[in-house]
Amino acid sequence: MSNSTDSPAGAPEFAGPDDAGHFGPYGGRFVAETLMAALDELRAAYEKYLKDPEFLAELDADLAHYVGRPSPVYHAKRWSRELGGAQIYLKREDLNHTGAHKVNNCIGQALLAQRMGKTRIIAETGAGQHGVATATVAARMGLECIVYMGSTDIERQKLNVYRMRLLGAQVVAVESGSKTLKDALNEAMRDWVTNIDNTFYIIGTVAGPHPYPAMVRDFQTVIGREARAQMLDMTGRLPDALVACVGGGSNAIGLFHPFLNDTDVAIYGVEAAGDGLETGHHAAPLCAGQPGVLHGNRTYLMEDKDGQIIETHSVSAGLDYPGVGPEHAWLKDTGRANYVAIDDQEALSAFHSLTQIEGIIPALESSHALAYADKLARTLTPEQSILVNLSGRGDKDIHTVAELDGLKI
């Protein structure tokens, strides 16, 4: 197996993907022939520019001056004390421009698009965070932007839809299938096949055909690289555990990847258990699904006995996806990372705790990670530490939470 990314020596099993985009049996390139040439072109550009000092310098400058990186690591002292266990540290991706980690990847891919001479950007979005980040970056670069979004999601995320329109993006309602994120992804793929000459498809997560899972990861590992140095700086040692929520898994892999060879650091990916794993109404393919092929890669999926993809359920639209990035599938099988699930109620409770105790309103997605950190902290000592990726802020979720609390704003 050859490596397409640099990795510290000692744990080559985590150095994926191989040349064909495989992480163990997962990943790969399962697409129609109509997409192959575009994927080859993208891969060549990605491999070229990720080694190009000028490209990397421009990316770093944008991350510093436009996104506001590095994002801080914050020691949540009051909350930690209240839990009476491990010290909890938060990687504040919620403080990025546009309010979540999504923009790290969008900047990277948009710079690639520019270098490839593409003038039209397309994207899929579920909760709207990736759509907003894409529309933001497209506006700044003067690129045409079309965002595909399921009509169900458009209905429940009106604020983000308007935000994208303000930024000049065209938001296209997708009426097929379950009318959510997976259908938006199908539709974006169709657009790409049809307009391949001038169009760049910015996928928002570490899924899809090679090179997307590796490329999106590489743009998101800035999270983990910063956090690793920040923890060493603040505490003199690495954290005992990492916790991040997993929908497609981009914020989680961004945090986890730079720690994979630090084998003393336990890793927890938190999926959405929705109404509870036992009800079947959830979005937890790693915890309760099985391997299959969807959206260009082999990974764990939510599917029925005939191999049809089934609808997912979560209070958090950003975790409402029936697949998961293939590298997570591999980290699960190798045992390097543990995948757990948090249900809607637990996530909401953590949402309120962090808001009231630390004055930080977290996204409902990130609240899943916080809820697991809450459980985990209680099993550890005050001398130990947990680093949680606070992947996004909760402003977008205020209406959802108010409604669940029986309030009308």
CA atoms of 342 and 72, how far apart (whole Å): 26
The binder of other proteins chosen from 164, 309, 348, 377 (CB under 8 A): 309
Nearer to other proteins, 181 or 363 (CB): 181
Residues 279-308 that bind other proteins (CB under 8 A): 290-296, 298, 301, 303, 305-308
At position 259, the amino acid (one-letter code) is F
| Nearest to other proteins of 141, 196 (CB atom) | 196
Closest distance to other proteins from the beta carbon of 181 (Å): 11
Catalytic residues: 102, 124, 391
β-sheet with 22-23: strand ranges across: 22-23, 26-30, 296-301, 290-294
The nearest distance, CB 295 to other proteins, in angstroms, is: 7
DSSP letter string over 284-313? -HHHH-EEEEETEEEEEE-B-TTS-B----
Nearer to other proteins, 7 or 186 (CB): 186
Number of residues that bind other proteins (CB under 8 A): 39
For other proteins, which is the closer residue by CB, 35 or 169? 35
| 123/309 with CB nearer other proteins | 309
Distance CA 118, CA 114 (A): 6
- Per CB under 8 A, 28 contacts other proteins: yes
CA atoms of 240 and 310, how far apart (whole Å): 36
Helix (H), strand (E) at residue 192: helix 181-194
Enumerate residues 149-178 that contact other proteins by CB under 8 A.
176-177
Question: Closest distance between other proteins and the C-beta of residue 247, in Å?
Answer: 17
Name residues whose C-beta falls within 8 Å of residue 338's C-beta, 6 or more positions apart in sequence.
266, 267, 268, 269
Three-state SS for 274? strand
Tokens of 237: 């040692």
Footprint on residues 333-392 left by other proteins (CB under 8 A) = none
Q: Which region, judged by CB under 8 A, interacts with other proteins, from 1-9, 98-106, 182-190, 391-399?
A: 182-190
Per-residue interface string for the shown chain with other proteins, residues 34-53, x marking contact by CB under 8 A: x-xxx---------------
| Nearest distance, CB of residue 156 and other proteins, angstroms | 21
Among 23, 29, 213, 220, binds other proteins (CB under 8 A): 29
Q: Rounded distance, CA 308 to CA 303, Å?
A: 5
Contacts of 286 (CB under 8 A, 6+ apart): 246, 269, 271, 300, 324, 328, 329, 332, 339
Contact residues toward other proteins (CB under 8 A) are 20, 28-34, 36-38, 176-177, 182-183, 186, 189-190, 193-197, 290-296, 298, 301, 303, 305-310
